[in-house]
Chains A and B, each alone.
Chain A
Amino acid sequence: MKKKMYQILGMFLLIMGGTLSQVYAQNSGGLDSTVLDRLNALEQQANYQKPGNDHFMVAGLTTFGFAASKTTNTVGGISSISKTNSFPDADHYEFSPMFLWRHGNKFLLEFEPSFNNNGLSVNWADVSYFALPNLIIRAGYLVLPFGTYAKREAAGWIDKLATDPMGIADMTPTDYGVEVEGGLPLGSMKLNYDVAVSNGSQLLSDGTLTSGNIVDNNNNKTVTARIGWLPFSNSSLELGVSGMFGKVGDLGSPYQNATGNMYAFDLNYVKTFHPILLNIKAQYNIQNITNENYVNPNDSTQNYSFNNHTTAGFVQCSIRPTEANNFLKNFEIAGRYTSYNLPGNSTFGSDQHSVTVGLDYWLTWRTVVKATYEAYTGNSTASKLLGAYNGTTNTNTFYLQFSIQL
């Protein structure tokens, strides 16, 4: 009897075990299916978002502001005063989207059109090939490696003051050419190099230069080169020297042998000295064009000549607190002295100086509101014989500028 009961109990357990295992299998099978479906969906989603070889993005910047100025012009002891104020000119209104297109990890296309001065222009348009770890080859419409201001510091969301230092960016051409550049580690220091060959600048009939000609005006290429040296391991100091050499006269013109030799020296020092961040920038440009005979604009039968020597330089210092509350840490004060001397006895000669001070408030790391005051003095050294002399000009300008990078 006992044996029979054990047999019945055994059979019951077997049946229950089979039933339970089937129920469990069904349940677990359902769970697996849900997880698998979810995994498949995630995998598909990840595949859609998986980076490809190419990547395209739009960055860029815009600058907007207000400027109010008072100008006193004195000629022959007689002064005249004029006042202006206008939107949106805080030195330069600019809306410049920058298109970056990366093809794999070797090619980068950069294109920055710009709406400024009531018109459209192009800041740069080039293709870079990252040939070796520290060798980049570029071609296209390039900002030439002459000093550092135009290439690195001029953007409104980078510059600490609302205005550009006179002459500095103007003396850095953007031109069609090819460029080789890179940065090199050198023990605890670094070097960087940048060499460009371009069509070169063109000498105009008044002795000034223009650039960016798509057809070379003299079939003689201009070489521009800069070497930068960072002597400290923390990269706080960079010293640079640049040169630009080439013929500038039109082929077949009276100036066809005219050459332009330009030099630039730049300094950049950024370091934290608690409780402040100190930022010093400086650049000095020299431009020499061989002496030529130009046609007198008032009498085409007469020629005139002058020493075509131009200099431009600035020193800028800014300070930002590093140890303060979040509100105070966003303030930055800046000051700059600029000198710009254009050749005397020409039609445009002048000795110009400006002192610029400013207070900035950084809304984010790339968004700034600037209040800038600039006092400018210009003494004409233009030729009185050419009727170009216009005395002394003093201008005081207040700028309020907003700039953002996106």
Chain B
Amino acid sequence: MKRYLSLHTITLALVIVFVITAIASINGCAPTKAVAAKSGAQLWAENCQRCHNTPSPASFSAEQWETIGMHMQTRALITQAEREKIVDFLKSSR
């Protein structure tokens, strides 16, 4: 039982450390100007390859990219702003 409590405590401590570090390192719950200014192309290059190869814009139609963008937001948990920029980039680059 002690072992379970200890693991529970470690997990809780890690969660708290993550959250505190995150909050302490920033000025608020918003992206910095540099992050907010990122283009759809940059976000596409940075985020898609976290799980898989960066997709070719020509792979899907504009309508399909809208749907896939929503699906990917639920999987990769990118922010809404990131999703919109990436989808706009993919639609415009077809």
**Closest CB-CB distance, A190 to chain B, in whole Å?**
7
A123 within 8 A of B: no
- Bound Cα distance from A364 to B53, whole angstroms: 9
With A128-B74, A133-B81 as contacts: A102 and B67 at CB distance below 8 Å: yes
Interface flags for B60-94 (1: CB within 8 Å of A; 0: not) read 00111011101101111111111000000000000
**Closest CB-CB distance, A237 to chain B, in whole Å?**
9
Do B50 and A235 have beta carbons less than 8 Å apart?
yes
Q: Which of B7, B34, B49 contacts A188 (CB 8 A)?
A: B34
- Bound Cα distance from A100 to B73, whole angstroms: 13
* Cβ contacts under 8 Å, B51 to chain A: 152-153, 158, 268
Chain A residue nearest to B71 (CB atoms) is A100
A294 within 8 A of B: no
With A229-B18, A241-B11 as contacts: A188 and B50 at CB distance below 8 Å: no
Do A192 and B54 have beta carbons less than 8 Å apart?
no
In A330-366, the 8 Å CB interface with B consists of 362, 364-366
* Cβ contacts under 8 Å, B30 to chain A: 185, 187
Do B78 and A183 have beta carbons less than 8 Å apart?
yes
Choose among B54, B62, B71 the residue with the greatest number of A CB atoms under 10 Å from its CB.
B71
* Cβ contacts under 8 Å, A235 to chain B: 46-47, 50
Q: Which of A105, A181, A182, A270 contacts B50 (CB 8 A)?
A: A270
* Cβ contacts under 8 Å, A100 to chain B: 67-68, 71
* Cβ contacts under 8 Å, A190 to chain B: 79
A176 within 8 A of B: no
Chain A residue nearest to B83 (CB atoms) is A183
In A108-126, the 8 Å CB interface with B consists of 108, 110
A209 within 8 A of B: no
Choose among A184, A228, A362 the residue with the greatest number of B CB atoms under 10 Å from its CB.
A184
Q: Is chain A's binding surface mostly helix, strand, loop or mixed?
A: strand
* Cβ contacts under 8 Å, A364 to chain B: 56
* Cβ contacts under 8 Å, A261 to chain B: 4, 7-8
- Bound Cα distance from A100 to B53, whole angstroms: 21
Interface flags for A113-148 (1: CB within 8 Å of B; 0: not) read 000000000000000101001101010000000000
Do B70 and A130 have beta carbons less than 8 Å apart?
yes
Chain A residue nearest to B14 (CB atoms) is A241
**Closest CB-CB distance, B5 to chain A, in whole Å?**
10
With A110-B71, A130-B70, A191-B22 as contacts: A365 and B53 at CB distance below 8 Å: yes
Do A268 and B81 have beta carbons less than 8 Å apart?
no
A233 within 8 A of B: yes
With A133-B80, A133-B81, A241-B15 as contacts: A187 and B66 at CB distance below 8 Å: no
**Closest CB-CB distance, A121 to chain B, in whole Å?**
20
Chain B residue nearest to A187 (CB atoms) is B26
Do B53 and A362 have beta carbons less than 8 Å apart?
yes
* Cβ contacts under 8 Å, B14 to chain A: 241, 265
With A187-B25, A188-B34, A243-B11 as contacts: A108 and B74 at CB distance below 8 Å: yes
**Closest CB-CB distance, A333 to chain B, in whole Å?**
15
Choose among A183, A263, A277 the residue with the greatest number of B CB atoms under 10 Å from its CB.
A183
- Excluding A108-B67, A183-B76, A288-B3, 20 further A-B contacts by CB distance (< 8 Å) are A59-B68, A105-B66, A105-B70, A110-B71, A133-B79, A136-B73, A153-B51, A158-B52, A184-B29, A185-B29, A187-B30, A188-B35, A193-B77, A239-B18, A243-B11, A261-B8, A263-B10, A265-B14, A268-B51, A365-B54
20 pairs from A and B in contact (CB 8 Å cutoff):
A55-B63, A55-B64, A57-B68, A59-B68, A105-B66, A128-B74, A134-B79, A152-B75, A153-B51, A185-B31, A186-B26, A187-B35, A188-B31, A188-B34, A189-B25, A193-B77, A227-B19, A229-B18, A364-B56, A366-B52
Closest 5 pairs between A and B when the two form their complex, measured CB to CB: A187-B26, A192-B77, A133-B80, A185-B31, A365-B53
B residues neighboring A (CB under 8 Å): 3-4, 7-8, 10-11, 14-15, 18-19, 21-23, 25-32, 34-35, 46-47, 49-56, 59, 62-64, 66-68, 70-71, 73-82
